[in-house]
């Protein structure tokens, strides 16, 4: 539990004799000193001092609060009451009203306000100063008996609860009884007389519970209220809130109290109340955006009994006040350099600004206002950039659920790839392809996915899995394709055979519509409308400003020509990671890859590779051409090859099916073909497409042999910890022909382009390197093939050769590696796994949630780069690498490459580029600019 | 291919005019300069110069060789022939014989000899100087016509082959024809006349092939022979040899030629020849150990036609020569400070020492001679220690196969735990227990083992698996128990159901005898006798000398009281690693652990833990008492808990069996019990022990429910990369009650001992720590429980609290960790896996063999600590840790803790201790001494 801390200043005060300033009028208080005055108090002071017409009032400081709370007898510090009285006099003069006066009574609100916003966590009392006498004065001024008694009964209840500790239930009981008696269902139905009666009864409740009559002395009311607000700082609600949000004493220590004259917009037709934004918060358009009601209170605008008018109508209704409001609007933006969301009240022809704060806007509006405010010289370009949190841009780049449609989620998984999509659920890739072709929108729902499901990805709008984390196959592939994905939704049980999934009591059948939101991880039943992404001219302009100040280049991860072209539209300055194995997954290629894996001899393997060569060459050529003259970093095969084979369980099941089919086929061999087909369909489910002619049994036998071979290979290739297994360069050195094929494909594609003077810039990258010797060996393959390609094409292919740094040992050997490599690319996904000894897939399902909840780790290191561990290794690698080769190009291509904090760290390390998924490129460009600007700012301090 | 390199010195010589010294008599040559004189030449010079009677001779330097080989016309460098002739004169004077003389001819041998020994890789010519004239002289002196012509025909053939390039086959043809003609089967059957005829025919062969008569001029013979030896340096055999053994020009560049006067032990009864060791190489006993034959040649001793006599008999046969031989023996040991293996010849009453080298001895003899030579002041204690390679001691600490019994292995796996054992094979743990109890020696043969097999380990002499590497469960547990283990013998296919294993064409059935050698990884059929280990008084003394100089303490890894007691006998100075989870594996405990794992609530889990608490407490108490007052480092639970459950496949199979049994039981419910039992036995195999009374079906149902629960849990706990999964402190923080139980067990055991003033020293160690915050949390548990134990026992338990450093990030955060920890213990097994991103189990089966073969990695980093990667991380951790806490105790408890090179590195890092398996403790103690002595030596340079 958070304990109360007495600051040294407060302690000193406890010992002091002379009176000390605890109370500050809005004209005196330092608008920047939130620690002393609280956020709200400082804001009121600032508004007052820049000349806005704020209702007069004053702040009682947080120091007063802490001193009070630490006092043995819970008495207000010496001088506070005197200073309050003195300030009340000033308020009386400013308002022309008198506190406790029966003619023209001054009423005040008493509100808490700490340095850090803690919405609703502490207490507020309105209309303080009411008693039987002052009521009359208020009635004279408002001519609204109902309003006055409503205000009165509210004051009694709030004060009773907050200041006197009367349980709310006591009041509610009385209130409900009165409603029943009056025969009304809603509060609004109560008449002035009812409310008057309720006020009377409330006073009785207070007397019954506290044993004392409700205080009628207004200064007594005020003192009790101030103490009550101070006490609320150590109340359960506030303490829990601070614990929940980790608010330390450094962030907010004690609450201030704001005492403000009440103003009323319901004092007649020369009064009004309203709320407004200085610009349209939905679109960012530079128009005055707001609503008001004449002769009304703030809560009437919200209550919806009367329809508020657009603020523009005030122009005709109260032209001079509209003019003042326009001036207010302009003053606010010029001063705050930010779109403001403010409240105003007109009391008898006088405009008051009650509150202002930065307007909450969506990303579209943020971008537009940034650009326009910069053009209008309200902001500098750099301020315009810094105003937008990079992550916010993400909203603009994926379809998202229409926020107008609320719905209760069916299940929740991990938000694995952003964006939202709806479609009918299907439970295997073949069905997805089939139904997807039938122009149905499809969501592929699987326990987990494998490379062989890839055709299902192509056919689907989005992917939902019940197992796996944010680096599961499904997540990574979906992100690469820019499709939404929810992964590891553990509540869902998929039954492929029955073509259904169970979620608790509910069953989803194939064909039922669902909607997934890859930004939140929620899964909904039915179709929820989505909003398409917009890449506006303003955004484009803003990002060119970002590029001008950023030191880091921003590359994209893209695995095929289409993705490369798409990355260009996001402003990618190159490809930082092209995962060549992804090219293996297309449905016409996977069989060749499987053939290669099943090969028993080097010759068989080479024969399969010979078929892959022209395909990869064409892919590389298309990507290189699309990106020319930007660099394209091509990573040689990385994953363990068993990833290209189906799983053991699946193969076993298929074999059972096939054997069953064989028996059946043999058994029905004297039936007609059509009957057999029917029969097979009934007994086989997904395998109906099996060619079932007269040679059926023979074909089935062949299929059985093939599947048995695959099963054997799957056993052979089984690994205990595949993440740390036979993959990357280890595979490349064990089966040199695979890497040689890939290198040849790159260099031939390069030569073909460079021969006709197209400036393509391939960079060959070796994954999983742990020692320089591995690079030396692969470099030898490269040199050998380069010579052959040169001879064949009569042109020297120009390219770079470099290495991933994703193994811890590679960091330790960075100097040696730099001798062999022209560039380094940090693979921080794997590096983080190895540095923490966390398998991401396991950690995110098993213990990372607990580590986050208990704050053992501040951030998920797979989302935010761990600068204390992984970062130190990277620093060492950069230092040692550049010491050996000062012009070493260094980048990052892990997922952290698109995360703003991590990008800032990469900037500080002096990297040359970050690479991230296409849709994160704009985010990264802005973050890179922020990093430069942040450094400049620090340098100027 | 290795190219011939010309040293700068040699190049200079090529340009020089003045004659240069290329030839060195044995009196002149510098016995230390092996680079110039070759190993053999330097040795002959050294022997000569310390006053041993070596036959006179000289060396032609490697410089001469390189200069010759680099010359355009392949001529010997200027001056060589003159210097040879000059030296031959000196030899003539020394021997009283003359080269080419028909009366008393001087014969010489011409032998190659490079700086590095390359046995058999270059050429030798004996008896050079023979021709038709000198033959007569030799006949006169030996009176042995057969010997002379045998020498002659050998000389012609060797010279013909080596110097003139005549194919061996030509000589062999002639030789075989003559044997056929003489009607003899073996060479020894040939008479002097036959050999004379052969010599004649050989001369003809040479003439036929070369077109020239065999050279009769002895100096011509000598020059041709010298050139031939030089040429052999670039011959195919030598080049291949150097490539194979990676011999670089720095190690050996060129060969020298040794020309030595032939001496003959067969010149009559005043001649003899023999070989001897200065001490008994089998036992190390200080006795003169050797054999001789009177009137014989060296090869007669080996040929076995005549039985050689023990050298002691020479005392009576030739007393004065025996006296000289004893003097020689003493002189050799005093000079070489090493047991010598030497050859001698007595020619006509004159003793010659032909060769001496360090005697090859087994470990027993090495230890005894070291201790005795130190006692005799031949060696200092430090020299006595440095003389023995630490690894050699391993021989003394495990049973080993009797080297007298040779056998061809059936299969080979990885040498996973040293020692040898024989027994009948059994294929599951239950059968092992059953048969083991029946007083059978048993070898447990499994595909791989699991913790639930532990009772099978206890019952077995050794373990053989067909899958898994040196850190597989089987390997680690066997090493911990000190039982031999061969792991990952992939050629073996185990079929548990049929109770047999196939190895190629061969089938092993349960009950067949096999022998495994965990030191080599070989598996043999049948029983091969083993030799028991000996831990002699000499070894004990030697190791106390080691402890006196070592800076590192040597601890043992021990998981139970018995192992701790055994570790003491090896001289362990504490326990560096007690793996508490091993205690969970005993067969009466595992069910409780499974109960704990299957628990669905914290209460259920606690109930199971309450049962484990007294068991663990007793274990800890016994270990602490056994080791008092030495430290005992207790590691809290480390492995993922799914390791305590059976595998998925196994459970599925058991469920099939159980369901089948249920059907059967229901079907036969009207049979008698005995019939049912029989029935069950037939259909159930291993499950016959199932209680099968009238409530059978009900019991089966319960078992099915239990197994289904387990299967569900196995699914829940499944991890993609268990090595990087939910284990160690992550588990401890997720299920605090597990760690709390273990901590309580340690502290209660401690309090119980310390209460009665027994000085026990527990150290609680947390595994898999990656951030200081984890330690903070566990420390809070410790403090909480400490307070409780203190209250309960009225004594403050004294202990240390520390952390494993086995996660890379822990190295990076060492400073922070040192704030919380009193000690660090490097877990270099896991740290190596994480640093390389190698899963050991996968790497050792998949690509490490290739990496070793292609020299991509010089050593297997799991055997020899990788100082360039893992070592750098350790260095950083030591520096940062000690910077924060200068007295931080640091050790290592990975397997590297028993590996001499790694121990040296730990010494250099300034660690306080190494911990290794019990039987490695003596090795580590000696290695620790070597490390200190090596440092002292370097410091004195």
- B793 shares contact with chain A (CB less than 8 Å): no
User: Positive or negative, the Cα torsion across A861, A867, A869, A871?
Assistant: positive
Whether A65 is catalytic: no
Split at pLDDT 50, 70, 90, the class of A941 is: very low
d(CA A863, CA A916) in angstroms, rounded, equals 13
**Residue A276 and residue A190 share a domain:** no
pLDDT in the model for residue A680: 43
For residue B504, the domain's CATH number is 3.50.30.10
d(CA B200, CA B215) in angstroms, rounded, equals 14
Indicate whether B839 pLDDT > 70.
yes
> Could you please report the per-residue DSSP string of A520-561?
TTEEEES---EE-----HHHHHHHHHHHHH-SSEEEEE--SH
The residue among A843, A624, A600 whose CA lies nearest residue A723 is A843
CA distances from B441 to A798, B433, B437, B459 (A): 68, 11, 9, 8
CA distances from A17 to A13, B211, B628 (A): 8, 128, 64
Range of the domain at B297: 272-361
Four-point Cα dihedral A360, A364, A366, A367, nearest 10: 180
Residue A486 in contact with residue A522, Cβ under 8 Å? yes
Residue B830 in contact with residue B729, Cβ under 8 Å? no
Which of A664, A693, A718 is where one domain is finished? A718
Please state the rounded mean pLDDT for residues A325-337. 94
**Residue A455 and residue A594 share a domain:** no
Split at pLDDT 50, 70, 90, the class of B937 is: low
**Residue B872 and residue B903 share a domain:** yes
Residue with the two structure tokens 């819970």: A74
User: What distance, in Å, lies between the first and last C-alpha atoms of chain A?
Assistant: 37
Pairing mode, strands B761-766 and B631-635:
parallel
pLDDT in tens, B600-647: 888 899 999 999 999 999 999 999 999 999 999 999 999 988 888 888
In angstroms, the separation between the Cα of residue A24 and the nearest Cα of chain B is 43
Chain B positions touching A777 (Cβ under 8 A) are: 854, 856
In angstroms, the separation between the Cα of residue A837 and the nearest Cα of chain B is 5
CA distances from A536 to A288, A519, A935 (A): 22, 21, 29
Percent of chain B with pLDDT over 90: 58
pLDDT in tens, B371-420: 999 999 999 999 999 999 998 898 787 888 877 677 888 899 888 888 89
**Residue A714 and residue A658 share a domain:** yes
For residue B276, the domain's CATH number is 3.30.470.20
**Residue A41 and residue A109 share a domain:** yes
Q: Hey, are the CB atoms on B733 and A842 less than 8 Å from each other? A: no
User: Positive or negative, the Cα torsion across B864, B868, B869, B875?
Assistant: positive
> Could you please report the per-residue DSSP string of A712-759?
HHHHHH--SSGGGSS-THHHHHHSHHHHHHHHHHHHHHHHHHHHTT--
Identify which of A159-163, A496-500, A548-552, A557-561 has the greatest average pLDDT. A548-552
**Residue A653 and residue A633 share a domain:** no
**Residue B774 and residue B631 share a domain:** yes
A58 located within any domain: yes
pLDDT in the model for residue A13: 54
Identify which of A275-279, A644-648, B86-90 has the greatest average pLDDT. B86-90
Residue with the two structure tokens 């590696």: A817
Indicate whether B323 pLDDT > 90.
yes
pLDDT in the model for residue B642: 87
pLDDT in the model for residue B2: 42
Residue B240 in contact with residue B122, Cβ under 8 Å? no
d(CA A472, CA A520) in angstroms, rounded, equals 17
Q: Hey, are the CB atoms on A722 and B720 less than 8 Å from each other? A: yes
**Residue A524 and residue A457 share a domain:** yes
A228 located within any domain: yes
For A873, which residue in chain B has the nearest alpha carbon? B812
Please state the rounded mean pLDDT for residues A376-382. 94
CA distances from A878 to A905, A906, A910 (A): 13, 10, 8
pLDDT in the model for residue B931: 96
Split at pLDDT 50, 70, 90, the class of A681 is: very low
pLDDT in tens, A797-832: 999 999 999 999 999 999 999 999 999 999 999 999
In angstroms, the separation between the Cα of residue B611 and the nearest Cα of chain A is 26
User: Positive or negative, the Cα torsion across B856, B858, B860, B866?
Assistant: negative
pLDDT in the model for residue B671: 44
Chain A positions touching B813 (Cβ under 8 A) are: 868-869
- A490 shares contact with chain B (CB less than 8 Å): no
Reported ipTM:
0.77
Q: Hey, are the CB atoms on A812 and B872 less than 8 Å from each other? A: yes
Residue B554 in contact with residue B914, Cβ under 8 Å? yes
- Does A600 belong to an annotated binding site? no
The residue among A31, A8, A145, A28 whose CA lies nearest residue A83 is A28
Nearest Cβ partner for B837 among A807, A868, A869: A807
For A718, which residue in chain B has the nearest alpha carbon? B842
Split at pLDDT 50, 70, 90, the class of A686 is: very low
Split at pLDDT 50, 70, 90, the class of B8 is: low
d(CA A162, CA B353) in angstroms, rounded, equals 112
The residue among A39, A20, A23 whose CA lies nearest residue A31 is A39
Indicate whether A110 pLDDT > 90.
yes
Chain A positions touching B777 (Cβ under 8 A) are: 854, 856
* Chains A, B: CB pairs < 8 Å: 176
Residue A403 in contact with residue A427, Cβ under 8 Å? no
Split at pLDDT 50, 70, 90, the class of B701 is: confident
Instruction: Please state at what angle helix B590-598 crosses helix B696-717, rounded to 10 degrees.
Output: 70
Residues in chain B: 941
- Does B345 belong to an annotated binding site? no
- A722 shares contact with chain B (CB less than 8 Å): yes
pLDDT in the model for residue A587: 74
Task: Provide the token pair at B438.
Answer: 């029946």
> Could you please report the per-residue DSSP string of B666-712?
HHTTTS-HHHHHHHHHHHHGGGGGS--STTHHHHHHHHHHHHHHHHH
**Residue B331 and residue B276 share a domain:** yes
Indicate whether B445 pLDDT > 70.
yes
d(CA B540, CA B546) in angstroms, rounded, equals 10
Worst-scoring range by mean pLDDT, B239-248, B664-673, B887-896? B664-673
Residue with the two structure tokens 């031959």: B88
In angstroms, the separation between the Cα of residue B806 and the nearest Cα of chain A is 9
User: Positive or negative, the Cα torsion across A95, A101, A107, A110?
Assistant: positive
d(CA B543, CA B390) in angstroms, rounded, equals 11
The residue among B735, B746, B784, B552 whose CA lies nearest residue B635 is B746
Please state the rounded mean pLDDT for residues B62-70. 93
Worst-scoring range by mean pLDDT, A670-679, B127-136, B347-356? A670-679
- Does A829 belong to an annotated binding site? yes
Q: What is the DSSP letter of A162?
A: I
Please state the rounded mean pLDDT for residues B704-711. 88
Residue A671 in contact with residue A679, Cβ under 8 Å? yes
Nearest Cβ partner for B839 among A720, A773, A809: A720
- Rounded to the nearest 5°, which phi and psi values hold at B435? -70, -35
Active site residues of B: 473, 893
pLDDT in tens, B736-764: 999 999 999 999 999 999 999 999 999 99
Burial readout A781-813 (b: 16 or more C-beta within 10 A, e: otherwise): bbeebbeebeeebebebebebbbbbbbbbbbbb
d(CA A75, CA A43) in angstroms, rounded, equals 28
Worst-scoring range by mean pLDDT, A641-645, A749-753, A915-919? A641-645
A545 located within any domain: no
CA distances from B717 to A720, A787, A853, B727, B776 (A): 15, 52, 21, 11, 27
d(CA B521, CA A441) in angstroms, rounded, equals 59
pLDDT in the model for residue B679: 42
A379 located within any domain: no
Residue B912 in contact with residue B890, Cβ under 8 Å? yes
d(CA A460, CA A424) in angstroms, rounded, equals 10
For B815, which residue in chain A has the nearest alpha carbon? A868
pTM (predicted TM-score): 0.78
Task: Provide the token pair at A172.
Answer: 């509610």
For A815, which residue in chain B has the nearest alpha carbon? B868
pLDDT in the model for residue A471: 63
For residue B633, the domain's CATH number is 3.20.20.60
The residue among B516, B38, B526 whose CA lies nearest residue B255 is B38
Pairing mode, strands B309-310 and B289-294:
antiparallel
Residue A258 in contact with residue A110, Cβ under 8 Å? yes
Please state the rounded mean pLDDT for residues B458-465. 91
**Residue B702 and residue B615 share a domain:** no
pLDDT in tens, B658-694: 887 777 666 555 444 444 444 444 443 333 434 445 5
B627 located within any domain: yes
Worst-scoring range by mean pLDDT, A53-62, B356-365, B540-549? B356-365
The residue among B589, B588, B613 whose CA lies nearest residue B737 is B613
The residue among A814, A811, A806, A795 whose CA lies nearest residue A765 is A806
B543 located within any domain: no
Residue with the two structure tokens 């597990």: B738
Q: Total structural domains in chain A? A: 5
Split at pLDDT 50, 70, 90, the class of A671 is: very low
CA distances from A446 to A253, A417, A457, A901, B89 (A): 50, 16, 11, 33, 94
Nearest Cβ partner for A856 among B733, B813, B869: B733
Which of A261, A292, A313 is where one domain is finished? A261
B373 located within any domain: no
The residue among B691, B444, A833, A886 whose CA lies nearest residue B680 is B691
According to DSSP, the residues that pair with B765 across neighbouring strands are B635, B802
Q: A274: burial class by Cβ within 10 Å (0-12, 13-18, 19+)? A: buried
B857 located within any domain: no
For B811, which residue in chain A has the nearest alpha carbon? A869
In angstroms, the separation between the Cα of residue A560 and the nearest Cα of chain B is 28
Four-point Cα dihedral B492, B495, B499, B500, nearest 10: -30
pLDDT in the model for residue A303: 56
**Residue B567 and residue B518 share a domain:** no
pLDDT in the model for residue A675: 41
Split at pLDDT 50, 70, 90, the class of A10 is: low
Task: Provide the token pair at A306.
Answer: 């009367």
The residue among A261, A240, A266 whose CA lies nearest residue A111 is A261
Which of A669, A692, A718 is where one domain is finished? A718
**Residue B139 and residue B26 share a domain:** yes
């Amino acid at each position: 539990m958070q304990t109360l801390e007495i600051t040294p200043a407060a302690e000193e005060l406890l010992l002091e004799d002379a009176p000390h300033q605890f109370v500050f009028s809005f004209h005196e208080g330092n608008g920047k000193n939130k620690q002393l005055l609280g956020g709200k108090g400082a804001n009121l002071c600032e508004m007052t001092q820049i000349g806005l017409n704020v209702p007069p009032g004053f702040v009682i400081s947080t120091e007063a609060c802490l001193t009070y709370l630490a006092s043995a007898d819970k008495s207000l510090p010496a001088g506070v009451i005197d200073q309050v009285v003195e300030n009340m006099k000033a308020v009386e003069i400013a308002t022309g009203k008198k506190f406790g006066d029966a003619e023209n009574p001054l009423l005040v609100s008493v509100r808490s306000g700490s340095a850090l916003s803690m919405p609703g966590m502490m207490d507020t009392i309105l209309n303080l100063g009411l008693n039987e006498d002052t009521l009359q004065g208020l009635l004279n001024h408002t001519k609204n008996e109902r309003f006055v008694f409503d205000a009165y009964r509210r004051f009694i209840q709030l004060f009773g609860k907050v200041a006197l500790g009367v349980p709310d239930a006591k009041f509610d009981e009385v209130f409900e009884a009165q409603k029943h008696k009056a025969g009304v269902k809603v509060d609004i139905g109560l008449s002035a007389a009812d409310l008057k009666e309720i006020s009377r009864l409330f006073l009785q409740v207070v007397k019954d519970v506290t044993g004392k009559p409700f205080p009628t002395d207004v200064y007594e009311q005020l003192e009790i209220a101030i103490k009550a607000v101070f006490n609320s700082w150590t109340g359960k609600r506030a303490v829990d809130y601070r614990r929940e949000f980790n608010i330390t004493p450094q962030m907010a220590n004690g609450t201030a109290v704001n005492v403000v004259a009440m103003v009323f917009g319901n004092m007649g037709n020369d009064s009004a109340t309203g709320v407004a934004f200085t610009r349209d918060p939905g679109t960012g358009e530079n128009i005055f955006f707001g609503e008001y009601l004449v002769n009304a209170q703030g809560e009437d605008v919200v209550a919806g009994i009367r329809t508020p008018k657009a603020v523009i109508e005030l122009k005709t209704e109260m032209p001079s006040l509209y003019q003042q409001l326009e001036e207010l609007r302009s003053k606010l933006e010029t001063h705050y350099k930010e779109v403001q969301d403010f409240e105003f009240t007109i009391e008898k022809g006088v405009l008051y600004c009650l509150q202002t704060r930065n307007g909450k806007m969506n990303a579209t509006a943020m971008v537009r206002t940034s650009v326009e405010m910069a053009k209008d010289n309200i902001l500098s370009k750099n301020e315009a950039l810094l105003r937008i949190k990079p992550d916010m841009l993400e909203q603009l780049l994926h379809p998202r659920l229409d926020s107008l449609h609320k719905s209760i989620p069916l299940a929740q998984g991990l938000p694995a790839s952003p964006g939202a999509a709806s479609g009918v659920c299907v439970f295997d890739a073949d069905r997805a392809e089939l139904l997807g072709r039938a122009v149905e929108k499809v969501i592929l729902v699987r326990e987990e996915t494998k490379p062989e499901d890839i055709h299902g990805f192509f056919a689907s709008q989005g992917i939902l899995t019940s197992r796996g984390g944010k680096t599961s196959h499904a997540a990574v592939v979906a992100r690469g394709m820019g499709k939404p994905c929810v992964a590891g939704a553990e509540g869902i049980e998929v039954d492929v055979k029955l073509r259904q999934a169970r979620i608790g009591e509910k069953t989803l059948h194939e064909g039922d519509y669902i909607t997934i939101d890859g930004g939140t991880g929620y899964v909904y039943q039915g179709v929820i409308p989505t909003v398409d992404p917009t890449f506006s001219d303003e955004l484009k302009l803003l990002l060119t400003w970002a590029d001008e100040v950023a030191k880091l280049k921003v590359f994209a991860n893209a695995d095929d020509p289409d993705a490369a072209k798409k990355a260009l539209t996001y402003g990618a300055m190159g490809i930082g990671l092209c995962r060549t194995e992804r090219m293996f997954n297309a449905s016409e290629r996977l069989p060749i890859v499987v053939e290669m894996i099943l090969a028993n001899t080097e010759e068989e393997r080479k024969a399969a590779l010979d078929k892959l060569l022209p395909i990869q060459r064409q892919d590389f050529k298309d990507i290189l051409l699309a990106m020319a003259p930007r660099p394209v970093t091509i990573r040689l095969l990385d994953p363990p090859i068993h990833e290209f084979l189906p799983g053991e369980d699946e193969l076993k099941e298929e074999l059972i099916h096939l054997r069953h089919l064989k028996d059946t086929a043999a058994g029905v061999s004297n039936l007609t073909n059509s009957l057999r087909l029917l029969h097979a369909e009934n007994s086989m489910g997904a395998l109906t497409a099996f060619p079932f002619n007269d040679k059926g049994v023979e074909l089935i036998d062949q299929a059985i042999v093939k599947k048995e071979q695959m099963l054997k290979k799957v056993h052979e290739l089984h690994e205990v910890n595949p993440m740390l297994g036979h993959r990357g360069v280890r595979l490349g050195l064990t089966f040199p022909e695979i890497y040689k094929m890939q290198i040849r494909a790159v260099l031939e594609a390069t030569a073909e382009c460079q021969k006709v003077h197209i400036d393509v810039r391939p960079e060959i990258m070796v994954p999983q390197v742990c020692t320089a010797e591995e690079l030396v060996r692969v470099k030898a393959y490269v040199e050998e093939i380069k010579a052959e390609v040169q001879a064949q094409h009569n042109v020297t292919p120009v390219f770079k050769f470099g290495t991933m740094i994703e193994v811890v040992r590679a960091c330790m050997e960075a100097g040696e590696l730099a001798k062999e490599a022209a560039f380094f690319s940090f693979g921080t996904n794997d590096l983080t796994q190895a540095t923490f000894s966390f398998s991401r897939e396991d950690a995110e399902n098993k213990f990372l949630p607990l580590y986050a909840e208990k704050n053992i780790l501040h951030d998920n290191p797979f989302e935010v780069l761990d600068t204390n561990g992984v970062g130190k290794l990277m620093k060492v690698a950069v230092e040692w690498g550049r010491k050996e080769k000062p012009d070493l190009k260094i980048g990052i291509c892990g997922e952290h490459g698109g995360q703003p904090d991590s990008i800032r760290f990469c900037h500080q390390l002096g990297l040359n580029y970050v690479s991230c998924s296409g849709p994160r490129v704009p985010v990264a460009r802005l973050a890179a600019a922020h990093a430069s600007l942040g450094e400049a700012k620090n340098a100027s301090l």
